[in-house]
């Protein structure tokens, strides 16, 4: 059973924030690259004391290598935007 999405005050739980950010970041990467182009993908998300930290490591093959850094940056931005939406 998963944790409740909000706490007693109606704010998103830390777990909800982390899962939302990770899902958004992963979604951007998988929308841009075929699975066969992704050699390694590591998404690390922490949310402590109201501070969101998102790190995306992306290693791709072939022609996809040139776009990996830009897509990793887009993934971080998407994660931040998704979390912002939770708190609106």
**How far is 53 from 62, CA to CA, in rounded Å?**
29
Query: What is the pTM for the complete model shown?
Result: 0.89
Give the per-residue pLDDT at 1. Answer: 39
Give the per-residue pLDDT at 63. Answer: 74
Q: Provide the residue ranges of all domains of the chain, joining segments of one domain with +.
A: 14-86
Count of CA atoms in the C-beta half-sphere (13 A) of 23:
8
Fold of the CATH domain 14-86:
GMP Synthetase; Chain A, domain 3 (3.30.300)
**Average per-residue pLDDT in the chain?**
91
Residues facing residue 6 across a β-bridge: 12
């Amino acid at each position: 059973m998963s944790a409740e999405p909000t706490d007693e005050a109606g704010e998103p739980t830390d777990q909800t924030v982390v899962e939302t950010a990770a899902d958004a970041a992963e979604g951007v990467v998988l929308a841009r690259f075929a699975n066969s182009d992704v050699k390694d993908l590591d998404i690390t998300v922490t949310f402590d004391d109201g501070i969101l930290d998102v790190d995306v490591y992306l290693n791709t093959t072939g022609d996809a290598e040139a776009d990996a850094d830009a897509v990793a940056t887009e993934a971080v931005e998407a994660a931040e935007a998704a979390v912002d939406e939770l708190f609106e």
